[in-house]
Amino acid sequence: MKKKIVFVVPPIVDKLWTFSSDLLYLGAAGLAARLLQDGHEVSAIDCAVDCRSVGRLKRRLARLQPDIVAVPALYGTLINAYKIAAAAKETTGALVVFGGLPATFSAEQVLTECPQADVCVVNEGEIAMSALAAGRPPAEIPGLVFRRDGAAVATGPGSRVENLDELPFPARGLFPQEKYRVYSLRTFRQVCTTNMESKRGCPFACEFCLQAPKEGRRYRLRSPEKVIEEMRQIKRDFPHIGRIMFVDNDFLAPYEHGLAIVDGIIAAGLNRQFEFMVAARVDNFLRGGDALIAKFAEANIRLVYFGMESVNAKNRERLSKIKAEYAAPELLERMRAKGVHSLCSYIFGFENEDESDMLETVRASMKDAPSMVKYNILTPYPGTKTHADYLAQGRLLPGVRLWQLDNAHQTIKHPVDCARFFRRAYRRYYFSPALLAKIKWLRFFGENKDMKLLAFVQHLGKRELAGFARDVYRFFKFRVFRSEDFVG
């Protein structure tokens, strides 16, 4: 029986300090495509960019009268996801289904905190959500946690899609694609952006990461031909899109697979249609040397995300991410010379660190001198080894809400005030005399703008000034997160 299904995407609570942007929720778009293929009537509402009040959401839901309201949630959106669930129940009485990392690893707590939520989809949702929409009873569908007689009932881990090439392309047309905008790293003008994946799974299983627990430790690869075909479809159907971000944990793993996609982009001329952002491990990136940097530049890959993590001596070998011989500053400078910028991510707050160790990581980030820097407070996400260890040791702070698991709130017991250190680390980086001396200030008004200047302006304008104004506004209007409306 055909169902009316609406995906409602909640806003992120703290975009400023989590380095988040309003982007297409790729998982929701992929699920929507699968449900359209099954013959259902599917629509989408993105409350981050297209429906900024609960009242307006209620009116839209009342018009749609869906049978199922699907809420794809991140931990940092849960406070707003719960408001969506309440609005959906009040206006339509629809079945409310949660997906995403919280639904996978914190399903029982989600169902406890949100009485309007009916079902959580565990891990990947294509198979389980298709069966649920077809009318099968939840108890018969692997991969669900659902409410029965006031208790949470789990049906097991569910099935993963083995052949990713069989999946339909994400239903981007259901979402307000023209409203997902970022700044081009080539022209520094606003450009519409979208997301893609070329694989699922990760064999590295970093102790603090949810990628392997969610998608498995074995790679499932899309064929490079299918990836290129999807890019062509994006340009044909959405000519205004100018940037594609790959959501893969490591675009270059396996190395030959990532390189085949890069070669396909160049051969198809898609480097003249899009600029790209990818993530990679430093050791994989170093395999290609300067030839790989040149190829990335030719393919118009303008930003590479590196997880540097904790680089002090206590954690470097333990995490097996960054080795002393990698010579990161020289690598990042050679990349920048070719127009390939770097976004480096660092973590502090590990249990074996004191403030001097955390300062060592900050000093390392200043020495590395990436084009952009991202700091994170260690967050023990449920499902990770870090969470299991911290739970056993009694190191989790009491009273933490799930929406605070966003790498910008302190959720662990630590001798250092990590939240205060987090803000100070950004200020130490962006207001350091060494960085300020490197910035080419006069390029602010010219065509060839300096990336470090733009990163500084973004930090000062968005995080420091806009963040202060936002916090004051929230305090007086919402009594700090006690709001009837979306928080964000």
* Residues 23, 27, 28: CA angle, nearest 5 degrees: 80
Check whether residue 134 and residue 224 sit in a common domain.
Answer: no
198: CATH: 3.80.30.20
Check whether residue 233 and residue 376 sit in a common domain.
Answer: yes
For residue 72, which of 190, 185, 195 has the smallest C-alpha distance?
A: 195
Q: Looking at the domain assignment, is residue 443 inside a domain? A: yes
Q: Find out whether 65 and 41 touch, Cβ atoms under 8 Å.
A: no
Check whether residue 67 and residue 109 sit in a common domain.
Answer: yes
Lowest-confidence segment of 22-36, 201-215, 359-373, 426-440 by average pLDDT: 426-440
Q: Report the SS3 class of residue 277.
A: strand
Give, as one character, the DSSP assignment of residue 396.
B
Q: Predicted confidence band at 113 (pLDDT cuts at 50, 70, 90)?
A: very high
Residue 370 predicted with pLDDT over 80: yes
Q: Looking at the domain assignment, is residue 487 inside a domain? A: no
Q: Find out whether 43 and 69 touch, Cβ atoms under 8 Å.
A: no
Q: Find out whether 361 and 376 touch, Cβ atoms under 8 Å.
A: no
Q: Looking at the domain assignment, is residue 170 inside a domain? A: no
> Domain span at residue 133?
4-150
Tell me the C-alpha distance between 56 and 43, whole Å. 16
Q: Tell me the mean pLDDT in the region 2-18.
A: 88
Strands 190-196 and 241-246: parallel
Interval 274-319: pLDDT, tens: 999 999 998 889 989 999 999 999 999 999 999 988 777 777 777 7
Give, as one character, the DSSP assignment of residue 445.
G
* Residues 378, 407, 154: CA angle, nearest 5 degrees: 90
Residue 320 predicted with pLDDT over 90: no
What is the chain's mean pLDDT, rounded?
90
Interval 159-170: pLDDT, tens: 899 999 999 999
Lowest-confidence segment of 99-103, 173-177, 181-185, 444-448 by average pLDDT: 444-448
Q: Predicted confidence band at 474 (pLDDT cuts at 50, 70, 90)?
A: low
Lowest-confidence segment of 92-106, 174-188, 302-316 by average pLDDT: 302-316
Check whether residue 137 and residue 191 sit in a common domain.
Answer: no
Interval 428-465: pLDDT, tens: 988 888 878 887 776 666 566 677 777 777 777 777 77
**Domain final residue, candidates 117, 150, 183:** 150
Q: Looking at the domain assignment, is residue 136 inside a domain? A: yes
Q: Where are the alpha helices (DSSP H) in 26-146?
A: 26-37, 54-64, 78-91, 101-105, 107-113, 126-133
pLDDT at 478: 59
The share of the chain scoring above pLDDT 70, in percent, equals 94
Check whether residue 337 and residue 404 sit in a common domain.
Answer: yes
Q: Looking at the domain assignment, is residue 193 inside a domain? A: yes
Q: Looking at the domain assignment, is residue 159 inside a domain? A: no
Check whether residue 113 and residue 205 sit in a common domain.
Answer: no
Q: Tell me the mean pLDDT in the region 126-146.
A: 96
Q: Looking at the domain assignment, is residue 472 inside a domain? A: no
118: CATH: 3.40.50.280
Check whether residue 66 and residue 195 sit in a common domain.
Answer: no
Residue 482 predicted with pLDDT over 50: no
pLDDT at 314: 74
Check whether residue 129 and residue 179 sit in a common domain.
Answer: no
Q: Looking at the domain assignment, is residue 486 inside a domain? A: no
Interval 382-400: pLDDT, tens: 999 999 999 999 999 999 9
Interval 31-90: pLDDT, tens: 999 999 999 999 999 999 999 899 999 999 999 999 999 999 999 999 999 999 999 999
Check whether residue 292 and residue 419 sit in a common domain.
Answer: yes
Check whether residue 146 and residue 179 sit in a common domain.
Answer: no
Check whether residue 363 and residue 278 sit in a common domain.
Answer: yes
Check whether residue 243 and residue 339 sit in a common domain.
Answer: yes
The share of the chain scoring above pLDDT 90, in percent, equals 69
Tell me the C-alpha distance between 224 and 190, whole Å. 28
Q: Tell me the mean pLDDT in the region 117-136.
A: 96
Give the total number of structural domains in the chain.
2
What is the number of helices (H) and of strands (E) in the chain?
18, 16
pLDDT at 384: 95
Tell me the C-alpha distance between 399 and 229, whole Å. 48
